[in-house]
Structure formats: structure tokens, C-alpha cells
């Protein structure tokens, strides 16, 4: 029922704008409005804090169905989870009440600020500093590639509080867009997910109360990694959603398009491609759902499954979307059809929340 209702909403309110959002590189406000109106913008927030209280699998299904319509729009529910999960996992009750309520209501979005210009895969090599000053922390630095930066009200920011301790000297904070000293870079000009703003976040002597720290001092990096164990599964969901959108479109096209006097769907070469696409996609979906169940139970092998789901599903999404372009021939290569957008959107799922090389490192270190 959840899938059917999100799909119907996405078809009616998100699909009609998806091409324009991509073409114009603009934030999908229509999608945000529709998701908020239907309480689907941050479904993971527990009921105690005013949220819908969806479990990890239900959250995956919401993201998957939004991504099937528009990859950029799926980053609204996905990044709201990514940004706020550090607070949910490690924050004080006060922080949870203060920040999760407005998120659940749709009054504020939440971003996640870990990466920096010189600290991507090696996130622990970050330079952003937080220095204690009485009852305050003062933050200085540059965060890069921050999804929904400028649109979000709240940011989980990881910063170095003790430079001698590397990853154990990193702490997490909630920073608000309106805090003095917060500003944003120009939107990045990207290959895909063009409707999702990606910007630098500048922290220039940002003075925040000490109770904005998430968890204890020095636990920020551990919280950041624990968060990714859960949210990589939402990127897997985004990947399978985008791939499903491309497969569904290609499936319809091959029955309409005629060459050699018959629909191209009659050719076994085309049928075999579709069979492979559907087979790989379903394998990715099942791995993602298994990982979501592990996320919900916080199983001991979650780290492996989170990395495996994200890595496998994103590689499958890249293959399936590329094959969908192939099945539409020259038409697939143009913006008159949605599959080239889906192929461009799929690419990012192999890069963010840790590249697929990094996922393989994580899997190798956590073999089940």
C-alpha cells in the first residue's frame, strides 16, 4: 500500500516536473511541497518526536518510489535521514526534541556535512576546527559537496576538537543556517541530480552553544560512520528506484518502436537485455531490503550489508540505465526521453556516501 500510494503521488506530482528540474538545474519545490503535504519528506523520524515513525524498509520504499520518478527529488527524504540520523543515534533528548520536530513537520530540512575539499574518501583528514570558548564552541572551516546546502535549515557538521587524536578527535555539532558566520558557495555544475543543490558550506567563526554538540566530545567520527551504515541503504534505494524508472520506460518503448517490420521487443537480442536488466535489478532490490531489515534490527553484520547494498545497487543502476539508453537507440541519447537523465543521475550513486572503491574496503574489513 505504501509503495502504491507513493508511486501514485510521484506520478502525479513529481514526474511532470522531473525533466524541467534537470534542464533548469533548479530545486524541485513541487516535489518538496507534495512530499510534505503527504508526510513523506522525512518518514524516518520517530513518532515520539512528531514523525511518521517509518522503519528502515518503509523509508527505503519511499525513497525508491520517489527516485523512480526523479533522482533529485529522492534526495529530499534521503538527505533528511542522512542529516538527522546523527542526532537520532547519538544526540541528547533536548537536541532530538528541538531539531526533529521541525524536520518532521516539514518546516526545516537537514543536511550532513562531513566532506571537505581535501578530505573525501579520507574523511578523518578533515581540517574544520571547533574550539571551546566557555559555554560555546567556535567553528571555522569549509565543508564541500553538501547536498541541499542553502535549502536546509539544519546541518550536522563534523569538526576537529582535538587535532592530536585524528578520528577520535572529531566531534559532531548541529549548525543552523541562520547562525552568524554560516554562508554557502555557488551551486556545483553537475553531470546529474541537477535539481539537488550541492554547495560548499563556509563556517567563519560560527559561535554555537555547547549543548549543540551531538553526543560526547570525540565521538563525532564514530557517529558519522555509524550513520552511513544505515544511510548507504537509502542510496541503494535511490539507485534501484532510478534503475526501475529506466527499465519501465524501456519496457514500454520496445513494444512501440518498430524496425524490420515488427516491434523491437520481438528480437531475442533485445529480450535478453531486458531479462538481464530485470534480473540484476531484482537481485539489488533483495539485497537492499535485507540490508534495511538489518538496519532496523542493528544487526552485527550491518556494516557489511550497508556497503554491499550501496555498492551492488549503484553498479546495477549504472548498467541498467546505460542499457535503457541503448534500447532506445539514438532517441535514448536525447533529452526528449527520460532515460539519459536517469543514466546521468545513476552515476552519483557510485560516488557519494563513500565511493564504490571505499565500499569494497569497508566490505573487506567486515566480511560476514
Ligand X SMILES: Cc1cc2nc3c(=O)[nH]c(=O)nc-3n(C[C@H](O)[C@H](O)[C@H](O)COP(=O)(O)OP(=O)(O)OC[C@H]3O[C@@H](n4cnc5c(N)ncnc54)[C@H](O)[C@@H]3O)c2cc1C
Binding segment toward ligand X, per CB under 6 A, in 112-120, 164-172, 209-217, 242-250: 112-120
First to last CA, the chain: 33
CA distance 58 to 292: 9
Minimum distance from CB of 250 to ligand X (Å)?
A: 25
CA distance 73 to 67: 7
Residue nearest to ligand X (CB): 120
Q: Select the residue interacting with ligand X from 41, 190, 212, 310 (CB under 6 A).
A: 190
DSSP 183: E
Q: For residue 296, indicate whether it is catalytic.
A: no
Minimum distance from CB of 2 to ligand X (Å)?
A: 26
**Which residue has 564504490 as its cell numbers?**
356
CA distance 143 to 204: 11
Residue 79 or 265: which CB sits closer to ligand X?
Answer: 79
Q: Which helix H or strand E contains 158, and what residues bound it? A: strand 154-160
Residue 142 or 351: which CB sits closer to ligand X?
Answer: 351
Position 110 contacts ligand X (CB under 6 A): no
Position 128 contacts ligand X (CB under 6 A): no
Name the pairing type of β-strands 170-176 and 110-113.
unpaired
Residue 201, CB-side half-sphere exposure with 13 Å CA sphere: 36
CB 322 within 8 A of CB 343: yes
CA distance 92 to 67: 32
| H helices present in 264-301, as ranges | 268-297
Minimum distance from CB of 318 to ligand X (Å)?
A: 14
Position 187 contacts ligand X (CB under 6 A): no
Q: Select the residue interacting with ligand X from 27, 145, 249, 337 (CB under 6 A).
A: 145
CB 117 within 8 A of CB 142: yes
Minimum distance from CB of 224 to ligand X (Å)?
A: 8
Minimum distance from CB of 114 to ligand X (Å)?
A: 3
x/- string (CB under 6 A) for ligand X, residues 165-184? --------------------
Residue 326 or 355: which CB sits closer to ligand X?
Answer: 355
Q: Select the residue interacting with ligand X from 49, 112, 289, 304 (CB under 6 A).
A: 112
Q: Which residues here bind ligand X, judged by CB under 6 A? A: 111-115, 120-121, 145-147, 190, 198, 348, 351-355, 357-358
Q: Which active-site residues does the annotation give?
A: 353
Amino acid at each position: 500500500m505504501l509503495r502504491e500510494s507513493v508511486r501514485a503521488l510521484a506520478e502525479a506530482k513529481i514526474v511532470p516536473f522531473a525533466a524541467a528540474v534537470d534542464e533548469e538545474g533548479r530545486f524541485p519545490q513541487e516535489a518538496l511541497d507534495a512530499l510534505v503535504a503527504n508526510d513523506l519528506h522525512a518518514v524516518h523520524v520517530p513518532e515520539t518526536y512528531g514523525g511518521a515513525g517509518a522503519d528502515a524498509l518503509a523509508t527505503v520504499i519511499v525513497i525508491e518510489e520517489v527516485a523512480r520518478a526523479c533522482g533529485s527529488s529522492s534526495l529530499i527524504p534521503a538527505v533528511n535521514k542522512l542529516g538527522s540520523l546523527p542526532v537520532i543515534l547519538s544526540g541528547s533528548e533536548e537536541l532530538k526534541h528541538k531539531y526533529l520536530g521541525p524536520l518532521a513537520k516539514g518546516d526545516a530540512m537537514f543536511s550532513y556535512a562531513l566532506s571537505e575539499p581535501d578530505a573525501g574518501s579520507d574523511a578523518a583528514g578533515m581540517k574544520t576546527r571547533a574550539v571551546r570558548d566557555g559555554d560555546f564552541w567556535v567553528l571555522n572551516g569549509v565543508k564541500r559537496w553538501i547536498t541541499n546546502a542553502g535549502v536546509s535549515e539544519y546541518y550536522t557538521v563534523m569538526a576537529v576538537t582535538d587535532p592530536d587524536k585524528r578520528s577520535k578527535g572529531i566531534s559532531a555539532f548541529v549548525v543552523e543556517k541562520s547562525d552568524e558566520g554560516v554562508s554557502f558557495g555557488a551551486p556545483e555544475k553537475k553531470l546529474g541530480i541537477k535539481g539537488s543543490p550541492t554547495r560548499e558550506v563556509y563556517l567563519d567563526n560560527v559561535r554555537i552553544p555547547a549543548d549543540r554538540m551531538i553526543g560526547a566530545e570525540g565521538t563525532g567520527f564514530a557517529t558519522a560512520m555509524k550513520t552511513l551504515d544505515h544511510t548507504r541503504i537509502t542510496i541503494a534505494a535511490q539507485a534501484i528506484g532510478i534503475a526501475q524508472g529506466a527499465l519501465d520506460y524501456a519496457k514500454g518503448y520496445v513494444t512501440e518502436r518498430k524496425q524490420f517490420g515488427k516491434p523491437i521487443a520481438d528480437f531475442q537480442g533485445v529480450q535478453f537485455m531486458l531479462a538481464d536488466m530485470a534480473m540484476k535489478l531484482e537481485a539489488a532490490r533483495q539485497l537492499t531490503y535485507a540490508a534495511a531489515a538489518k538496519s532496523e534490527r542493528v544487526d552485527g553484520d550491518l556494516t557489511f550489508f550497508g556497503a554491499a547494498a550501496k555498492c551492488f545497487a549503484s553498479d546495477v543502476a549504472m548498467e541498467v540505465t546505460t542499457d535503457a539508453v541503448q534500447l532506445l537507440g539514438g532517441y535514448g541519447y536525447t533529452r526528449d526521453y527520460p532515460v539519459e537523465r536517469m543514466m546521468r543521475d545513476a552515476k552519483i550513486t557510485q560516488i557519494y556516501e563513500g565511493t564504490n572503491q571505499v565500499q569494497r574496503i569497508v566490505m573487506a574489513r567486515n566480511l560476514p
